[in-house]
Structure formats: C-alpha cells, structure tokens
Amino acid sequence: MLTLTHSVGGTTVGIHFPERAEDMDGFRAFLAGGDKVLAFDTRHRLGHLQPGHRLRLAQFGNGREAWVLRTDMFAAEAAAALRQPGRTSCTMRRSTC
C-alpha cells in the first residue's frame, strides 16, 4: 500500500492507496471506526460524459485519514462502503480530472 501524508488545518492526515487485496483490511478497519459521517469523492476518466465511461477512483475520508480506491480493482468494496449500515450521512462530490 502506498501511504502519503498531508497537513489539513495543522493536523497530519494519512492518505492510503491500497494496491493489493490484502491492503483492504485497513480500509475495512477504517469503516468500522464508527464515524457517522464520511466524505466521499470520485474521479472519472476523461470523456466521462461519453457512453461506456468508467469511474476511475472512489475516495473516502474523515478528519484523520483518507482512502483512495481504484475502481478497476476495488469497485465491490467501494460500493459496499456506500451501503454500509449505521452511516447517517455521506458527503458526496463528483469531479473530473
């Protein structure tokens, strides 16, 4: 797994990019952390308005850490995270790059 850090409001935040199925244990632990609200963002491939376009990245985060999932590898896990029970809210923002 690739992990970067970034300072947000004076707090160091870990940004995790899982690269193998084994890396997803950390993502599952993140989801089990009990946050009622998570941020959610996506990145699309260029030409995202064309038929057959694909989502490239699904990003989840809170005030302490973020997880960036490649949807060609972890689409099922990203979809399951969005359906996780007990979450009262999920902030979503669509964007392209």
pLDDT at residue 74 above 70?
yes
What is the CATH T-level fold of the domain 2-96, as seen in this structure?
Nucleotidyltransferase; domain 5 (3.30.420)
Give this prediction's pTM: 0.82
Q: Which residues contact 3 (CB under 8 A, 6 or more apart)?
A: 14, 15, 16, 17
What are the residue boundaries of the structural domains of the chain, listed by start? 2-96
Across-strand partners of 42?
58, 94
Separation between Cα atoms, residue 17 and residue 27, nearest integer Å: 10
Nearest of 66, 8, 6, 62 to residue 34 by alpha carbon: 62
- pLDDT per residue over 9-45, tens digit each? 899 999 999 999 999 999 999 999 988 888 888 887 6
Which residue bears the tokens 């004076």? Answer: 10
